[in-house]
Amino acid sequence: MRRSSATRIALIYPELLGTYGDGGNAIVLEQRLRWRGLPVEVVSVPAGSPVPESCDIYLLGGGEDAPQVLAADGIRQNRAIVRAVGSGAAVLAVCAGYQVIGATFPSGGEIHEGLNLVDIETRRSFAPPETPPPGRAVGDIVVEPDPRLGLPTLYGYENHAGRTRRLPGAGGFPLGVVRRGIGDGDGGTESGGGAGGSGGGGTDGIVDGRVIGTYLHGPVLAQNPALADLLLTWIHGELPPLDAPREAQVLREARRRALATP
Ligand SMILES: NC(=O)CC[C@H](N)C(=O)O
């Protein structure tokens, strides 16, 4: 399906969900459409305003625990994102955003309700109560995406305390397998040893229909332009080919070399 109207990209509550530069994902999507001569509009939705239902791609970024609760409360109010997804919109949710689109997430010692858009839950730990919770997952992360997505290796940066798992009977599938870093943390059983761990082997993220959740900051779309194009393809159908700018190729090659996994 080729569209004639502008693609509307919603950047949700950037004051609350923008701690790690994830607003850059909107710039990448916008620019990759402009380079192709396709009309685009970025709709920045300030915290406290109702989320519009009429956008094509919704971006939710990362945030600290308290702002994350405020963001979840706002997003749950009109559930516009859920209806928009039902009408064909796509979602990219990163870290706090990833946790918020699930069923529940922790903050301030309590469990909070998410948007229930995907069948995941986040806890501080899934290990038995007598086991100390794992450390914060902080550092570089490398994910080998599910082959169904046809994407190259994904590079990013993670910084989160929560650990995430799929609920029984969950729809969709993990975004990929963690080669370096923690990601979801595999139900708290990761071998990487918490903060800065490099064990890998668990999974990161979810892909369910046109909804992608992931722990990868970066901004993730700047480091992984093929992921940006996957989202755009879901909205536009096939896109005119685009030679990645040289800077993007240089960045990816530098990440590949720096984060070479065994
Ligand atoms: N980087 C983030 O978005 C952090 C998410 C969440 N507050 C956590 O620490 O788990």
ipTM of the complex: 0.97
Which listed residue (55, 95, 112, 236) is catalytic?
Answer: 95
pLDDT at 92 over 90: yes
Six-digit token pair at 46? 């300030």
- Whether the link from the prior residue into 14 is cis, omega within 30° of 0, is no
Q: Are strands 211-214 and 90-94 parallel, antiparallel or unpaired?
A: parallel
DSSP SS3 for 68 = helix
Q: How many C-beta neighbours within 10 Å does residue 150 have?
A: 9
- Mean pLDDT of the 220-237 span: 96
At residue 133, the pLDDT reads 87
Non-local (6+) Cβ contacts of 243 within 8 A are none
Site to substitute for ligand 1 among 60, 70, 92, 95, most atoms within 8 A of C-beta: 95
Strand 40-45 and strand 57-60: the pairing is unpaired
List, in order of start, the domains of the chain with CATH numbers.
5-258 (3.40.50.880)
Report the percentage of the chain scoring pLDDT > 90. Answer: 79
Ligand 1 pocket test target in 99, 112, 164, 182 with most atoms within 8 Å of CB: 99
Average pLDDT over residues 188-205: 57
124 contact partners, CB below 8 Å, separation of at least 6: 106, 133, 161, 162, 163
252 vs 112, higher pLDDT:
112
User: Average pLDDT in the 101-118 region?
Assistant: 97
Grouping H, G, I as helix, E, B as strand and the rest as coil, residue 142 is strand
> Does residue 73 surpass a pLDDT of 90?
yes
